[in-house]
Structure 1
Amino acid sequence: MDLVQLRFLPQTGQCEMVVKLNVVFEGININEEIHSVRKITDTIGSLIEHTKNKLTKIINDKKSTSDNQITDQFYDIPVSFKRKSHKHSKVFPNDESLQLFLLEDHDKTIVQIFDKKFLLQVNPPLIKNIQLPKILYASYVIQPSKFHALYTNKVFSHFTWYKSLDLISWEEVGNSYDYTINKNDLGHYLKVVCVPVSDKLSEGPPAEAISQRTVQEFPELPMCPFQSRHQYTKNILQKIDFRFLTYNTLSNRYTEMNLAFSYCPSEVLAIDYRKQLIYQELKGYNADIICLQEIDNREYNNYFREKLSELGYVSKFHRKGHNISEGLLCATRKTRYQLLSCQQVVLTEALRIKKLFEPLNQLLNKNRDLKKSFMKQSTSLQVTTLKCKEVNRIMVIGNTHLYYHPSATAIRLLQAHIITSYLSDVKKRMSCEWKNFEVDVILCGDFNSSPGGAIYNFLSEGSIPADNEFCLQISEEGKVNFSHELNFISACGTPKYTNYTDDFKSCLDYIFIQEKKIEVKQIIPLPEEELEQYIGLPNEVYPSDHVALVVDLQFKDQI
């Protein structure tokens, strides 16, 4: 028996019925896929009427075309939902809500449209979007660059890979979610076909994606400007000295999603190219602590985790907000640090459940629009605690990437306040636990805030006036009281550029250290003047639209 699919669409709060019809009605051949959509709060009767109206329009349109005159007739088209049993059939009442209907057992529910009967499938798996990377390089692992599916278990689903020279004749080459491109694939197009499978092992309609270009040879890596920076980082530090790095590496999620980097050739914008440069750059800095933003989940699991381990690092990665495909990474040198903990703090979750933020919650409850905007963000803080093996120090490392929107300074200020409050609380707890150790806090990342702005001033000065324009956006009554006692300074100062694109160039990235406890020994020079010869980053020698901040630091007096 043919199938009717009925799905709840969580993102829109709607219910969609899909049926492939091939019937003849009053001499009109209807061979189409019908999509009927109603709100989940609507009734079965509403869905039936919507389906009838769609079919009526199709019939009238076809008759108008064949008769060369407009037809607007009404047709009493049979459409019903019935539960079949061995004795009789039960027709579902039209006033039953779709929400309740979807909760019922529908193993034997039949949908009749015209004189045809279909077996109902509720929430069968469906692939909404599947795509392959724009550039394919031989000798690298490929996966779908986009895979958006509903009611689908990727582990149970069936993936089949094919290659072709002419897009006509296809040869099967693989049967898993990943496919390792080999030299024999050079010059071929690739195709992946997926049959989605649900947790209950029901199958949905297959979907496929075909590469836009053929597989090509990976190019020889060029000499890059970061290699001149490596001249300052050849030595390995020890004892009270350590090298710290922060770097927004530009997620593949954003290069694939938009045309913001149209000035960069596709071949070098591809993540398989850029990740080679990122790795070579990180390797040459010999940093003791590495904090990265916009690392892709797939690239961490398939590439960076192993590569960093080979260099002697323990690395931890968290997807931003637990659900975004890119996130935060902290890597620490195993010979120098014992990893005590590494956790992700989603700022909206912290605001909602942490007693520490009850006063802020009460404040935001008086500004519902701002709170609503704030709670939509997935901004996170990665907190790593380390025990130094060579000196009696505990380090609390905060790594973050604040909300980007230019007009959202008030939201970033709220985020900065939550971050400093949380880090101060962790410092207090660690100081109680490790009484014979000095506890140091470092906060780094992409703050999407330029020098002299509210966020930079708040972090570096320790407070912000209640009558600041952004504080007044939070509380018109001037009740904002944001301050911290972390005594931060920007270890690398305020470079001219840390972010460099064709339409925006500024300093957005910082490493904030506690001035009374840590001092700067050497700032690894940034290529500020050299950047100005380019329209924007990334390009063939710069793998990101940001540049890495690298600094040699030294602990001050020991206990």
Structure 2
Amino acid sequence: GKESAAAAAEAGPVNAGGFAADELVGPEARALAEAMRRPLPLRRPDREVSVVSFNMLLKSFEQKPEYPEVPRALREWGWRKQHLKELLFGLDADIFCMQEVECLTFEEEFAFLSECGYASLAPKDDSKGKHPGLAKPSIFYKAERLEKLWEDHRSRVVLAAFRHRASQRLLYVASCHLEGAPWEAAKRFAQAKKALDSVRKQMLKDEKERGVDPATCGLVFAGDFNETEDAAVGYCLRNGGLPSSFRAPGLPEEELTKQDYVHSFDMDDLYAREGSRHATFCAPAGEVRRRGSIACDSTPTFAAIDFVFHSRNLRPTAARLPFTDAQLRATASAGIPSEWHFSDHVPLGGVFELVSEEGRGASAGPAVWCQ
């Protein structure tokens, strides 16, 4: 009954063959977890690439005060790591744009990536060991399908350039986890701006040194923006820049940029294609952070703060539905993390066809949603 489940939840790891959290996972939870692992299949691997973005919730969550209503057994890293491994291998994406990957323990905790042919851009510890639990963005990729040509690690973004081996096309990728404080809209915009400028600089270098026309290169800019679609970063990516007059929602007095900012990337928002925005995050009922205070929510809090933007010479052929209907119902009652999902975010992403320059903008319509 409830008493035995509560006891199991507080007991910590059980014998070497399993975890205390396994006692909480019934058939319905297993089905929901399996649905979260559904893959994004490629129809034409010679000219397609699959990209998934996911904030995994940092390893040290088990020691953090956030979400006190989540039982200790569900916070335990060993259990969460096993489910993370199953999720990554189930999704089977060519590229994972990851967030909240712990720096100091990366080599030992993610050694399993090589089991399925993944290489990685390990998160960089810019604190030089002063913050043992420090977590950063990272990128995992299938080495047999992609050759890494360049990488750049910034405070909140990791950037890379890959050559798609089958088509020889270049793909630039940004995995970002922008500033989390709700009132720091200017910082989030500055972090995105510097990342875009770095990609542009590298594209021009590749044009000069490799003879690659930037117009033929794809770009995916994905991750946890920590703000909604109507805020500065989304506006900037969709509209080719940000005017100095732009003000973030809820911050009418805050200047985000002194001068108009313009970039040269022609980009689409993968999840704007359905009209309504899909939630990508849900905090459990309980304490919710507000500016300068703590408020209490009696129901789980859904939000859409994770995004996948792509250049228009990448044609989406499939997109992942962040929550299935059954997962939405389960999450609405208790939030996540839960017995069927180990993070407060869910994966999102899609399959992109590397189209020719002549195919730019010649969209075949909305991507097929993978239920």
Compute the TM-score of the two structures, normalised by the length of structure 2. Answer: 0.76
CA deviation vs aligned residue, 1:518-547 (integer Å, no higher than 9, x gap)? 111011222154334333210110110000
> Residues of 1 paired with 2:333 and 2:303: CA distance?
14
Q: Name the larger-Rg structure.
A: 1
In structure 2, the residue matched to 1:473 is 254
TM alignment of 1:131-146, pairs within 5 A: 136-137=12-13
Q: Read off the aligned partner of 1:263 and give its amino acid letter.
A: E
CA deviation vs aligned residue, 1:486-531 (integer Å, no higher than 9, x gap)? 112122337331110034421111111101x111101122215433
> Residues of 1 paired with 2:64 and 2:71: CA distance?
15
> When the two structures are aligned, how many residues end up with a matched partner?
315
TM alignment of 1:67-466, pairs within 5 A: 136-137=12-13, 219=22, 223-231=30-38, 233=40, 238-258=45-65, 260-297=66-103, 300-304=106-110, 306-319=111-124, 321-323=126-128, 324=131, 325-346=134-155, 380-436=156-212, 438-466=216-244
Cα RMSD (Å): 2.8
1:500 pairs, out of 282, 291, 312, with: 282
In structure 2, the residue matched to 1:77 is none
CA contact (8 A) 2:118 2:143 kept: yes
> Residues of 2 paired with 1:138 and 1:299: CA distance?
23
CA contact (8 A) 1:492 1:551 kept: no
> Residues of 1 paired with 2:337 and 2:74: CA distance?
8
Q: Read off the aligned partner of 1:341 and give its amino acid letter.
A: W
Q: Whose strand proportion is higher, 1 or 2?
A: 1
CA contact (8 A) 1:251 1:294 kept: yes
CA deviation vs aligned residue, 1:422-450 (integer Å, no higher than 9, x gap)? 22112221222221563222111111011
> Residues of 2 paired with 1:557 and 1:432: CA distance?
20
Shift in Å, 1:277: 1.1
> Residues of 2 paired with 1:479 and 1:298: CA distance?
37
Shift in Å, 1:292: 0.6
Q: Read off the aligned partner of 1:319 and give its amino acid letter.
A: K
In structure 1, the gaps of 5 or more residues are 1-133, 140-181, 184-214, 347-379
1:554 pairs, out of 335, 349, 353, with: 353
Change in Cα spacing, 1:429 to 1:436, as seen in structure 2 (3 Å) is: closer
Change in Cα spacing, 1:492 to 1:135, as seen in structure 2 (3 Å) is: farther
Establish whether residue 509 from structure 1 lines up as the match of residue 306 from structure 2: yes
In structure 2, the residue matched to 1:86 is none
**What SS does structure 1 have at the residue aligned with 2:271?**
coil
CA contact (8 A) 2:159 2:173 kept: yes
CA contact (8 A) 1:229 1:525 kept: no
Identity level (%): 17
**What SS does structure 2 have at the residue aligned with 1:534?**
helix
In structure 2, the gaps of 5 or more residues are 1-9, 289-300, 359-371
TM alignment of 1:42-61, pairs within 5 A: none
In structure 1, the residue matched to 2:7 is none
Change in Cα spacing, 1:439 to 1:312, as seen in structure 2 (3 Å) is: same
2:317 pairs, out of 510, 521, 538, with: 521
